[in-house]
A and B are shown apart, each in its own frame.
Chain A
């Protein structure tokens, strides 16, 4: 079920109503969450519910077994059992054809052609997200950071919790699981805040991301017909598309969870206002970045090792992160490029320089900060070209055309027509969006505290305006969230 579908508009109030009807009955509330979550997921394809159910049962069992043994060898065996099986599913569904195709190509290149039969595999929606979530449980139990649960329903609800099941935030068991043990309260302020965040999420997805997608798709799909400035605009549109799409999803997920009395972690913290790449990665897809940091980077030694290993660890973390997104060399190239961006900061010791909020206690950024923000955004947007491209050749052609044809006269005319005749409304919307995001950059989401001290008429008028802009500007063809494919 998509958040931006009529089905969800009907589904959410029904679940909400029954959930709070069972307010004093924790167990029943958790059962309802599991049923609702399985329904939510099964709406897309019920066959893959067995995968989630299997992962849930496996990790629940392994968690219990880990609590019963102190033998390090047995504990390690149990941990690896969980890792191999969970990543095995992920590997099969997501990477089987990729590895097969590359092996076949490699052997053919070496003069030993082999036959490989590609399989027509459907990628289960959200498999990368819930796999990492269940793995976090087993690893934390193994590391004795978490007491294994003996409440199967709570654990099943933790794995399948529908607001964040298919595209995160990837929650840690240490943070989310305990919330299933305790009584939830419907606090008025929390619920209103949740609704506000859902509204903002829909605005980001339906207005910003989907409108940017229209032009980004057109430009990327016919990139060989456009000149430099149009391609530059295409890259910028895609940067806003992916941000609006994914952070919009996260906002809807977090807001929905709030309606049920849960607090999910912040997944995006205004990443396009970052002053360097290190700050960008502290603000972009935080739940995944911190997952890799805690379960891969730090176990490898992180940056507190000699320079050679620190560089190695940086490359590993970025390449794995890229590969997590999809079975394509473009994602690996995207990860690699980000590692290259990050490396100078690491080597110069500047990777933790910008920890304070940008333009702290000021309305506008300084000229230096503005320059840093623009430079970081430019670097990020160029990297997104690899992320969006069909293959490496496409990305390389795109960038060659982009830099090679910046000053061609006809190209400037095309860009002028695009900006002033076709996408003019989108440029205005983007400017309004950037201003609102800037004003709310110290909150969890842009409109969390915006106008909060104004009277109800002003606040409500503002929310009505957002709803009206959605009704007037959202493209009317339904488009799924980009991160569903991951």
Chain B
């Protein structure tokens, strides 16, 4: 037994070295390493811009509902300097990393935290890969990778760490070619007024992952410790999509218990499922204007100065 355990120990000791060598020599050909994802969410551009600015009034965090839902230009007109830190499929685990990286630098007076319930059940792999692909590796990123705890994210992270130039080579050229999307300074992505044609009447529910809920609560605690007020916001999705969520009351009650919370799916924004959305999840520019105008009114009543 001792002999066997000893050999296994020695074998395990050399394994990391071989693993890293494997990453260096074969990482380019491995399907389980994804560091050259397309930049359809403009994550690289957004976070590069975030690196160059400081001191804003409001930051927005969350998934694509965020970077496609909060138009920083409209807030600027209203007198707020804002930055949109939304990234594709961003779950609370990724929000944690971004808050820790940017909160001191951007020093916001308010964090608007978009809380689409899908982010509470998502495993966070896609969003982690998005960040690994488009950001420099860091200790915070490593912590995020361990929290997501998935083979794809481990492989991709270590590959990026070892071969930053190899991992980066395709990223810059893959900026979205979709001519209906436009990146706006401040992190917002504008979609032209294409209309929604997706209507699915299947009821569905969200299963809350313990891991994501824990990260979410830690994020709120972190903001409290930094003495930065936050507002939890659920951006509108189509009425059909929202009404099919079978456990929406349970989710509302969870969010209400965690802080100031506004669910804009109940607000009378006058949104139309076809002409104000470009798909079941995302507002087009006409919808964004209606939603942001209402949010600005609500922010005037929300004391955070």
A181 at the B interface (CB under 8 A):
no
Residues of A within 8 A of B151 (CB): 471, 474, 476
Q: Does B30 contact A (CB under 8 A)?
A: yes
| Given A460-B11, A464-B18, A467-B15, A472:B4 Cβ within 8 A | no
Q: Looking at chain B, what size class is its interface with the partner chain? A: 20 to 34
Q: How far is the CB of B9 from chain A (nearest CB, A)?
A: 13
Q: Is B259 among interface residues, defined by CB-CB distance under 8 A?
A: no
Mask of B18-47 contacts with A, CB within 8 angstroms, 1/0: 110010001101111100000000000000
State in angstroms the CA–CA spacing of A20 and B3 once bound together: 14
B142 CB to closest chain A CB, in angstroms?
A: 18
Whether B1 lies near A476 (C-beta < 8 A) is no
A473 on the B face (CB < 8 A): yes
Instruction: Determine, out of A116-124, A184-192, A234-242, the stretch whose residues face the partner at the interface.
Output: A184-192
The yes or no answer to A468 lying at the interface (CB within 8 A) is yes
Q: With A and B bound together, what is the CA distance between A472 and B26 in angstroms?
A: 9
Query: Which listed residue (B4, B14, B18) contacts A468, Cβ 8 A?
Result: B18
**Interface contact B32-A468, CB-CB below 8 Å:** no
- Decide: A468 near B19, CB < 8 A? Known: A20-B1, A191-B4: yes
Check if B155 is an interface residue, CB within 8 A of chain A.
yes
Contact B18 A473 (CB under 8 A): no
Q: Which of B4, B29, B125 contacts A425 (CB 8 A)?
A: B29
| Cβ of B152 under 8 Å from chain A | yes
Chain B residues lying within 8 Å of A306, measured Cβ to Cβ, are none
Cβ of B155 and Cβ of A471 under 8 Å apart?
Answer: yes
The CA of A82 and the CA of B93, in the complex, are separated in Å by 56
| Across-interface contacts of B169 in A (CB, < 8 A) | none
**Docked-complex contact B22 and A468, CB < 8 angstroms:** yes
Question: A20-B1, A192-B7, A476-B150 given as contacts; is B18 within 8 A of A425 (CB)?
Answer: no
Q: A461 contacts the other chain (Cβ, under 8 Å)?
A: yes
Nearest residue, chain B, Cβ from A472: B30
Residues from chain B with Cβ under 8 Å of A473 in the complex: 30-32
With contact pairs A191-B4, A471-B155 given, residues A464 and B15 touching in the complex (Cβ less than 8 Å):
yes
Shortest beta-carbon distance from B171 to chain A in Å: 20
The answer to whether A186 and B1 have CB atoms under 8 Å apart is: yes
Task: Determine whether the beta carbon of A461 is less than 8 Å from that of B18.
Answer: yes
**Residue numbers in A under 8 Å from B152 (CB-CB):** 476
- Give 1 or 0 for each of A442-486: 1 = CB within 8 Å of chain B CB: 000000000000000000110111011001111010000000000
CB distance from B258 to the nearest CB of A (A): 30
B contacts with A: majority SS: helix
**CA of A199 to CA of B18, assembled, Å:** 16
State whether B155 touches A188 (Cβ < 8 A). Answer: no
A471: chain B residues within 8 A (beta carbon): 19, 22, 32, 151, 155
Contacts of B150 in A (CB 8 A): 476
Cα of A468 to Cα of B17 in the assembled complex, Å: 11
Q: Looking at the complex, which one of B3, B22, B26 makes contact with A188 (CB distance below 8 Å)?
A: B3
* B-chain residues with CB within 8 Å of residue A476 when the two chains form the complex: 32, 125, 150-152
In the complex, which residue of chain B has the Cβ closest to the Cβ of A468? Answer: B22
Q: Closest CB of chain A to B178's CB: distance in Å?
A: 23
A-side interface mostly: helix
Q: Distance (Å) between the CB of B66 and the closest chain A CB? A: 27
Contact B155 A472 (CB under 8 A): yes
Q: Which residues of B contact A472 (CB under 8 A)?
A: 22, 26-27, 30-33, 155
Nearest Cβ distance between residue B149 and chain A, in whole angstroms?
Answer: 9
- Min CB distance, B17 to chain A, in Å? 9
* Contact present for A188 and B4 (CB under 8 Å): yes
The answer on a CB contact under 8 Å between A464 and B26 is no
Task: Chain A residues near B14: list those with CB within 8 A.
Answer: 460, 464
Instruction: Give Cα A464–Cα B150 distance, bound, in whole angstroms.
Output: 20
- State which residues 158-203 of A face B: CB under 8 Å: 186, 188, 191-192, 195
Q: Which residue of A lies closest to B159 (CB)?
A: A472
Q: Give the complex CA separation of A468 and B14 in angstroms.
A: 12
Residues of A within 8 A of B18 (CB): 461, 464-465, 467-468
With contacts A472-B22, A473-B31, A476-B150 known, is A192 near B4, CB below 8 A? Answer: yes
Q: How far is the CA of A472 from the CA of B156 in the complex (A)?
A: 10
Alpha-carbon separation in the docked complex, A191 to B5 (Å): 11
Q: Which residues of B contact A195 (CB under 8 A)?
A: 8
Interface mask (B143-167 → A, CB under 8 Å = 1, otherwise 0): 0000000111001000000000000
What's the Cα separation between A463 and B3 when bound, in Å? 19
Please indicate the chain A residues that have their CB under 8 angstroms from the CB of B29 in the complex.
Answer: 425
Q: Which of B252-303 contact A (CB under 8 A)?
A: none
Residues from chain B with a CB closer than 8 A to the CB of A186 are: 1, 4
In the bound complex, what is the Cα–Cα distance between A461 and B18 (angstroms)?
8
Chain B residue numbers with a CB within 8 Å of A465 are 18, 22
B4, B22, B33: which has the most chain A beta carbons within 10 Å?
B4
Q: Which residues of A contact B1 (CB under 8 A)?
A: 20, 186
Q: Which residue of A lies closest to B18 (CB)?
A: A464
Q: Which chain B positions have C-beta within 8 A of A191?
A: 4
One digit per residue, 1 when the CB lies within 8 angstroms of any chain B CB and 0 when it does not, for chain A 242-254 equals 0000000000000
**Nearest opposing residue in chain B for A467, CB measure:** B15
In the complex, the answer to whether A425 meets B15 with C-beta atoms within 8 Å is no
- Which chain A residue shows the least CB distance to B29? A425
CA distance A425 to B3 in the complex (A): 38
Minimum CB–CB distance from A239 to chain B (whole Å) comes to 22
CB of A473 to closest CB in B, whole Å: 6
Q: Which residue on A lies nearest to B150, using beta carbons?
A: A476
Q: A363-394 CB contact bits vs B (8 Å, 1 = yes)? A: 00000000000000000000000000000000
Q: B4 contacts which chain A residues (CB < 8 A)?
A: 186, 188, 191-192
Contact call B3/A468, Cβ cutoff below 8 A: no
Closest to B26 in A: A472
B 43-74 to A, binary, CB cutoff 8 A, 1 in contact else 0: 00000000000000000000000000000000
Q: For the complex, what is the distance from the CA of A188 to the CA of B15, rounded to whole Å?
A: 21
Contacts of A464 in B (CB 8 A): 14-15, 18-19, 22
Docked Cα-Cα span, A135 to B18, in Å, equals: 48
- Which residue in chain A gives the minimum CB-CB distance to B125? A476
Chain A nearest CB, measured from B184 CB (Å): 35
Query: Please, how many angstroms separate the alpha-carbon atoms of A246 and B58 in the complex?
Result: 57
Residue of A nearest to B22 (CB): A468
A195 to B32, CA, bound (A): 25
Give 18 pairs: A residue, B residue, CB < 8 Å, sorted on A: A20-B1, A186-B1, A188-B4, A191-B4, A425-B31, A464-B22, A465-B18, A467-B19, A468-B18, A468-B22, A471-B22, A471-B151, A471-B155, A472-B26, A472-B30, A472-B33, A472-B155, A476-B151
| Nearest 5 pairs of A and B residues by beta carbon | A472-B30, A468-B22, A464-B18, A472-B32, A191-B4
